[in-house]
Chain A
């Protein structure tokens, strides 16, 4: 298993092409860039915590392939206990970073591909599962960070991939030869991509039989020829080029450092191809990945919410109103919502089931309900944090003002809360609330792992409405009509 430092060193060895605000960044210096540094620190926690005895019970496990101790982020779930430990691990890491550490996306991509390649091979006689197991072994041995790459740009949402004015709006195979395939297109909102080692490409949705070129899954190094990353902007990101306080979470940043990743005729050898034209399994892969990924959100957002709740409570203490009844009531409401998020993730894990491959899969209905809750409850938790934090979280002067020789004394004097707490501490806590409850951080809760509608469409499919009708008919004393 790599340490955080070994992970950082390994990233410097890549020849990755990343553009930030129109500028190509030297690949060796990328991880030092103010826009990137925090996301690297956050991902590095997933490596360092695995070496800490106080966290290793969640952070590490035993490989079912080799029997060796591995980082849990490279593991294939072997039981419902594994699924539960994943959720607990995510909550714990979030408590340490206050933001996304990005590594769950590749983790979920690997688990979904493990199950789907097995079932594909059983039905079609292909050899994708063995290929994938070799790839998995490589990831477990190197401890590389894998970016899960599902979301295509999709262009006109009313049109199928082949109907788009530009066929590249969905990643597709443009050539096949004896050596491998060549793919073109792009993947959007790519969490942790620029500080990963490789990416796992998956189709963005279920494909029809005439859309074989779009049913493609493969592993590609993030610095492969033809791969270009354009780093996304975030709320207040230029503050990262200034001091520390105004960033709110200077060490770890906000969400996952997303990018638009371009695949301009990228070659992929056959041993790294895990789906190529098997359209009937594309929908299954999307659904498996989506459900594994939706499982996470009560863990990671539960942990992030723990930090938000703590920040709101401390801010109230700093202002001298921490003991007010309405504050206690609001804090309790926040706790109720955070634990509701967590409960769904634990529930969908406890109700997980074995797949044909032998690995374990979450309960899809409960996983979707959990993520759907995140699209609402995190907004409510953050709203209460802003309520408790006060207007100062949006109006306070800058760190430069606080440190200015002429006016700093006024910031110090007039923004003080209780006398025992330095003004700087109050400003730091206010900035943390600002960082965690607005802009980019909130949008991630809405759309990460799929927008609310993507969860709603699963309900009618998974919730057994006919049984509910039968229950009602029986209790109401209505005899069902015989057909």
Chain B
């Protein structure tokens, strides 16, 4: 799965709360239909104002779980704040076309982080 075609689809930037940190949790990637590491790098490049940390760093206000197939078996750490659960074909269990995944993730992060 290539996300390159999606990169320029979310040009309209919103003013973000830059104090927000996003914790990333990957699934174990035993059946990767998408490259979640590449996806996370694209998000980091897009949201340069926001700090992305590994989930076990603790101090974050949004949890982003990146599953690379439809099973979505990544263990979710105990976290009471907002979660964005991504699979290769859905975000928070709502279907997303694979080619729109990056664009829709950007939208979802904007929802949680705009001031």
A binds B: yes
Binding site for B on A (CB under 8 A): 53-59, 69, 81, 84-85, 88-89, 91-92, 95, 303
With A89-B28, A92-B28, A95-B30 in contact, is A57–B36 under 8 Å at CB?
no
Q: Is B84 an interface residue (CB 8 A)?
A: no
Considering the chains assembled together, what is the distance between the CA atoms of A58 and B24 in angstroms? Answer: 15
With A85-B28, A89-B28, A92-B28 in contact, is A57–B74 under 8 Å at CB?
yes
With A54-B37, A57-B75 in contact, is A89–B30 under 8 Å at CB?
yes
Q: Is B103 an interface residue (CB 8 A)?
A: no
15 A-B pairs (CB sep. < 8 Å)? A53-B26, A54-B26, A54-B28, A54-B29, A54-B37, A55-B26, A57-B75, A58-B29, A58-B30, A69-B56, A81-B75, A88-B73, A89-B28, A91-B30, A91-B31
Considering the chains assembled together, what is the distance between the CA atoms of A69 and B58 in angstroms? Answer: 14
B26 with A92: CB separation less than 8 A: no
Nearest-CB residue, chain B, relative to A62: B75
A57 with B54: CB separation less than 8 A: no
Q: Is B27 an interface residue (CB 8 A)?
A: yes
Partner of B29, one of A55, A81, A84: A55
Interface contacts (Cβ under 8 Å), in number, total 42
Nearest-CB residue, chain A, relative to B68: A54
Nearest-CB residue, chain B, relative to A81: B75
* B29 partner residues in chain A, CB cutoff 8 A: 54-55, 58, 92
Mask for B17-61, Cβ within 8 A of A = 1, else 0? 000000011111111000011000000000000000010100000
* B37 partner residues in chain A, CB cutoff 8 A: 54
Which of A59, A69, A84, A95 gathers most chain B CB within 10 Å?
A95
* A88 partner residues in chain B, CB cutoff 8 A: 28, 30, 73
* Least Cβ–Cβ distance between A122 and chain B, in angstroms: 32
Beyond contacts A57-B26, A85-B75: 17 other A-B pairs, Cβ-Cβ < 8 A, are A53-B24, A53-B26, A54-B26, A54-B28, A54-B29, A55-B29, A56-B28, A57-B25, A57-B28, A57-B74, A58-B28, A58-B29, A58-B30, A85-B28, A89-B28, A92-B28, A92-B29
A53 with B30: CB separation less than 8 A: no
B26 with A56: CB separation less than 8 A: yes
Query: Which B71-90 residues sit within 8 Å CB-CB of chain A?
Result: 73-75
Nearest-CB residue, chain A, relative to B36: A54
* A59 partner residues in chain B, CB cutoff 8 A: 28
B27 with A53: CB separation less than 8 A: no
Which of B29, B30, B37, B54 gathers most chain A CB within 10 Å?
B30
Nearest-CB residue, chain B, relative to A302: B30
List 6 A-B pairs, minimum CB-CB distance, nearest first. A58-B28, A92-B30, A88-B30, A57-B28, A54-B26, A91-B30
Considering the chains assembled together, what is the distance between the CA atoms of A85 and B74 in angstroms? Answer: 10
Nearest-CB residue, chain A, relative to B54: A53
* Least Cβ–Cβ distance between A306 and chain B, in angstroms: 9
* A81 partner residues in chain B, CB cutoff 8 A: 75
Considering the chains assembled together, what is the distance between the CA atoms of A91 and B30 in angstroms? Answer: 6
Interface of A is mostly: helix
* B56 partner residues in chain A, CB cutoff 8 A: 69
* Least Cβ–Cβ distance between A62 and chain B, in angstroms: 10
A57 with B27: CB separation less than 8 A: yes
* B28 partner residues in chain A, CB cutoff 8 A: 54-59, 85, 88-89, 92
Considering the chains assembled together, what is the distance between the CA atoms of A95 and B73 in angstroms? Answer: 18
* A53 partner residues in chain B, CB cutoff 8 A: 24, 26, 54
* B75 partner residues in chain A, CB cutoff 8 A: 57, 81, 85
* A54 partner residues in chain B, CB cutoff 8 A: 26, 28-29, 36-37
Which of B37, B54, B73 gathers most chain A CB within 10 Å?
B73
* B25 partner residues in chain A, CB cutoff 8 A: 57
Nearest-CB residue, chain A, relative to B24: A53
Considering the chains assembled together, what is the distance between the CA atoms of A89 and B73 in angstroms? Answer: 12
* Least Cβ–Cβ distance between B95 and chain A, in angstroms: 23
Nearest-CB residue, chain B, relative to A88: B30
Which of B25, B27, B28, B73 gathers most chain A CB within 10 Å?
B28
* Least Cβ–Cβ distance between B39 and chain A, in angstroms: 11
* B36 partner residues in chain A, CB cutoff 8 A: 54
* B74 partner residues in chain A, CB cutoff 8 A: 57
* B31 partner residues in chain A, CB cutoff 8 A: 91
* Least Cβ–Cβ distance between B48 and chain A, in angstroms: 20
Considering the chains assembled together, what is the distance between the CA atoms of A89 and B29 in angstroms? Answer: 9
* Least Cβ–Cβ distance between A342 and chain B, in angstroms: 9
* A58 partner residues in chain B, CB cutoff 8 A: 27-30
* Least Cβ–Cβ distance between A179 and chain B, in angstroms: 43
Considering the chains assembled together, what is the distance between the CA atoms of A453 and B25 in angstroms? Answer: 43
Considering the chains assembled together, what is the distance between the CA atoms of A76 and B30 in angstroms? Answer: 21
Considering the chains assembled together, what is the distance between the CA atoms of A58 and B68 in angstroms? Answer: 13
* Least Cβ–Cβ distance between B42 and chain A, in angstroms: 15
Considering the chains assembled together, what is the distance between the CA atoms of A303 and B30 in angstroms? Answer: 9
* Least Cβ–Cβ distance between A30 and chain B, in angstroms: 31
Nearest-CB residue, chain A, relative to B27: A57
* Least Cβ–Cβ distance between B36 and chain A, in angstroms: 7
Considering the chains assembled together, what is the distance between the CA atoms of A91 and B27 in angstroms? Answer: 14
* Least Cβ–Cβ distance between A177 and chain B, in angstroms: 47
Considering the chains assembled together, what is the distance between the CA atoms of A314 and B113 in angstroms? Answer: 44
Considering the chains assembled together, what is the distance between the CA atoms of A57 and B29 in angstroms? Answer: 9
* Least Cβ–Cβ distance between A104 and chain B, in angstroms: 15
* A84 partner residues in chain B, CB cutoff 8 A: 73
* B26 partner residues in chain A, CB cutoff 8 A: 53-57
Considering the chains assembled together, what is the distance between the CA atoms of A303 and B73 in angstroms? Answer: 18
Considering the chains assembled together, what is the distance between the CA atoms of A437 and B25 in angstroms? Answer: 36
